[in-house]
A and B are shown apart, each in its own frame.
Chain A
Amino acid sequence: MAPQQRPAPLRRPAAPGKPVRPAARPRPAAKRGGSLVRNILTGLLILGPLAAVALPTAVLFAVGLVPTLVALIVDKNREKYAAISVGSLNFCGVMPAAFELWTGGHSMELTIGLLSQPMHWLGMFGAAALGWAIHLAVPPLVAASIAVKTRTAIAEHKKAQDKLRDEWGDDVADGA
């Protein structure tokens, strides 16, 4: 008995006269996940050697830059603007503890001691929160600015049209 062929998947027939478009190629599902993995691997590549030579600093940055890691994960944008906004300020929030670690003997005990102080957590996570705040607040402001500017331009064009219609009558609008 001959093997039964699998039926072709149902497709909506093309409208008559229109060329049949090939089915859209499915986006590679692993792309976004691959990007994240690549970023994490990049972080590990930085922190790995750093841990080998400066474990206390690596631990401090690994713990302190958790908000940046989260932003990196949750930001769907390819450009990773959220990670940039959060990361840059988060990095500044970690730097006071890092300076204290580097000037205090650079030991794991000191790292644990620093991480046990709430003010350092507040500095690190507060700076990250400020980054998030900027990231979330600026786009609506830009939208509002665009809206105001566009509406003003539209009003000016309409005013010019009214002036033309006043001078030349409604016929001037024929075909516009």
Chain B
Amino acid sequence: MPPSDLTTFLSGSDSPPPDAGRSDGATPPPFEPAARVGRGTAPATDPPAATSGSAYRGGGGTVVASGAVTVGSRYEVIAHLPMPEYDRPYANAFEARDLKKPKRMAIGYVCTTGRPLRLDLLPSLLRLDNEALLKVRSFGVSRWIEDGRETPILVYARPPGRRILRTADDRIDPYRDDILVRCIIKPMSQVLRDLRARRVFHGCINPTNLYRAGGETPAVLGDCVAAPAGLGQPALYQTVERMQCTPAGRGAGTNADDLYALGVTLVALLKGRAPLDGMSDAEILESKLANGSFGAVVGDHRLPLDLVEPIKGLLLDEPDDRWTVDDLDQWLSGRRLTPKQARSPVQAVRPLHHAGADHWQPRRLAIALAEEPELRPNTISLPDLDAWLRRGLSDDAIADRVQEAVRGGQAGSNPTLGHRRLARLCIALDPTGPIRYRGVATTIDGIAALLSEEYISGKGPQIPAEIIAGNLPLFWVSVQARHTSDHATWARQFEAMRTLLDQEIPGFGIERVLYELNPSMPCRSPFLDGFYILQCDQLLRALETIADRRDAPRDPIDRHIAGFILSRYPNLSPRQMRAIGRADDPVARALGALDVLTTLQADARVHPLPGLCRWIVRLLKPGLQTLHSRKRRERLLRDIDKQAATGLLRNIQMLMQEDASPAKDSGEFAAARAEYRTHAREIRQLTRKLETRHAVSRDTGQQMAALASSIAAAGLLAIIVVWQAA
């Protein structure tokens, strides 16, 4: 499979390998798999009931009888050979084999959590060849043996060794500074340069995701695709700004954030353990805020003199001052740089007392205020705050922003007004910080991942929806001191999302926003549980699979599927979705679903779908039964089953459009009733005429008789005259 063909990956259209079923014992496992409770223990000869037999298609892979799952057409992930030493926070590792080159070993990351993967990185990573970055070999969606659910599986090259730190609180011998430079800094610098060139934020640089074989071999950086950015990275390795965020709301991140993580990693390796171990995330944040990242992370540890410079440069809290990859390369090439001094945050000349603590910095005040449930009159004295900002901090700009924040945000329902005003106040006090709202903190580009995480964790989308509906992203953009092109893009995007939220018809609302903001989000329709659907053709195949199940829902398109379809298939008109929302008219809903699915089938060129056709026909038949025309009804009921058997929704749609239009039927029925009434009226008139025929015929008959007699008399008279004349 060409690595660049992500669409092929996602569509899962690769044909299964011809030798997929001969993997039993083809390559002996290199070691006995470690016993892991509940994982990878399915015996090779005991696949789930649904998979018994030879092989079946499941998304982009095939389950073979040996207990292995093929990914793409080339790799085989072996379910009974787990590799826990390579597990990632949101993916379990299993041994994988390259079917074309059996000696080349690989690992398969099976992502069973249902979280969206960072699939947008795949095209770049598949093309990237860097020995210090674990090579992505393939991706596919396969039905995993253990639970029978479709699961995304990433296949990577086998790492050269074990993790440097097996767990976050693991301890190792401290690295020597020369080993650190040769084995860590140098290769990671190359990796970060390549990633920057491809605009890729790795987001998972830490000692538990670095692999080394030992000796002086360079480290290899591991996976970054298996989980949303920010979720797979411990808080310690996050910048101060990202640490303040809820893990899912940390956003896409930048190359500077990766460099910061590298700086913390270097300190960890020099210490032989994670810095600040034993402290909670909140304590680490507090320490970083109080002492700066360098002071907090290094603490009283004596760094090698040569490494003070890069580590200080990498751990600068101000992103603009932080070392770049170029700075690191220059340092590696021997040029010694002096990092900028860490800027201490602006402090007021006098503190503001709030919630039992004195606050000297607006950011600290914002963090404290975010703990409040909402902005009430007694939350904080706004005149005091204004006086503190103008006189204590001497910053009229912040004071003006705070005034604007408190005055604005009036729109919306009252229950959310207090939360929104508090969030606006926090943004105004700490513009570079996250959006803090009802106990959640997120960067503006982290709202998407936060929304998906809230869905997946079962909390519901209420908070992200309120953030978007309350216009907080736009307010955040408006208070930024520097504006970039990203800001304008985000402003447009969230304005559009707010419009989508306001509409209640299927295909809009929070479900649509979820899929618009998260292109890698699988469809989360409740009745598609067990499927991992990323594209519309997969959706059609999944609907085909569940069509004949007893527990299949009544309608094939719910709000999630509607939102998913409209976000993934922009050619579809929202008008086509309106009919699906007609709760009072099941036939209109069925016709709407038929319209949408027909468009999808034609566009995706999915093979015939007889099951889905039968499903649609089941929904349409009650409507056909209500057709007034008996002959048309009988003909349609007969023909529609024939068309369903073809598996082409287009045929059913054409049949319905030609003959089964309810409007046409109603119009013709009204005409027929009018015609029937005309006949009835005529019959009544004729019956009356029949009853009165004697009276009518007497006058008419006598008239006719007089006429006939007169004509006869005239004729006779003429004969008599002629006869007498002769």
A interface, CB within 8 angstroms of B: 77, 79, 81-82, 84-86, 88-89, 91-92, 95-96, 99, 103, 127, 131, 134-143, 145-147, 150-151, 153-154, 157-158, 160-161, 164-169, 171-176
Contacts and interface: CB of A to CB of B under 8 A. Distances in A.
A77 B686 contact: no
B178 interface: no
B350 interface: no
A135 B701 CA distance: 8
Q: How large is the interface on B (under 10, 10 to 19, 20 to 34, 35 or more residues)?
A: 35 or more
Contact of B701 (A96, A103, A138): A138
Interface string B673-700: 1011101101100110110011011111
Contacts of A146: 689-690, 693, 696-697
Nearest to A173: B676
A151 B697 CA distance: 15
B693 to A, nearest CB: 5
Given A143-B694, A167-B630, A157 B705 contact: no
A118 B682 CA distance: 57
B630 A81 contact: no
A103 B676 CA distance: 71
B703 A172 contact: no
A158 B706 contact: no
A153 B682 contact: yes
B349 interface: no
A86 to B, nearest CB: 8
B355 interface: no
Contact of B700 (A91, A142, A166): A142
Given A146-B689, A154-B687, A99 B720 contact: yes
A136 to B, nearest CB: 8
Main secondary structure of the interface of A (DSSP, over half): helix
Given A147-B690, A172-B669, A174-B673, A158 B697 contact: no
B716 A157 contact: no
10 contacts: A77-B702, A89-B709, A138-B701, A138-B705, A140-B701, A154-B687, A167-B630, A169-B630, A173-B680, A174-B673
A161 B682 CA distance: 11
A84 B689 CA distance: 28
Nearest to A137: B705
Contacts of A143: 693-694, 696-698, 701
A142 B704 contact: yes
A139 B699 CA distance: 8
B694 A92 contact: no
Contact of B676 (A84, A147, A161): A161
Contact of A139 (B682, B683, B705, B720): B705
Contacts of A142: 697, 700-701, 704
Contacts of B682: 153, 157
A152 to B, nearest CB: 9
B488 interface: no
Contact of B677 (A89, A141, A158, A175): A175
A168 B630 contact: yes
Contact of A92 (B669, B701, B706, B720): B720
Contacts of A84: 706, 709-710
B690 A154 contact: yes
A92 B719 CA distance: 10
B713 interface: yes
B673 to A, nearest CB: 5
B631 interface: yes
A172 B673 contact: yes
B168 interface: no
A168 B669 contact: yes
B722 to A, nearest CB: 11
Given A139-B700, A167-B631, A150 B709 contact: no
Interface string B643-674: 00000000000000000000000000100110
Nearest to B724: A99
A91 B720 CA distance: 12
A153 B693 contact: no
A138 B708 contact: yes
Given A89-B713, A92-B717, A134 B708 contact: yes
Given A88-B714, A157-B680, A165-B676, 4 more contacts: A139-B702, A143-B698, A153-B686, A172-B669
B698 to A, nearest CB: 5
A157 B686 contact: yes
B686 to A, nearest CB: 5
Contact of A168 (B628, B677, B689, B694): B628
Contacts of A86: 709
A88 B672 contact: no
Contacts of B717: 91-92, 95
B712 interface: yes
Contacts of B676: 161, 164-165, 172-173, 176
A79 B703 CA distance: 9
A68 B689 CA distance: 33
Nearest to A158: B683
Nearest to A136: B705
Contacts of B716: 89, 92, 127
Contacts of B698: 139, 143
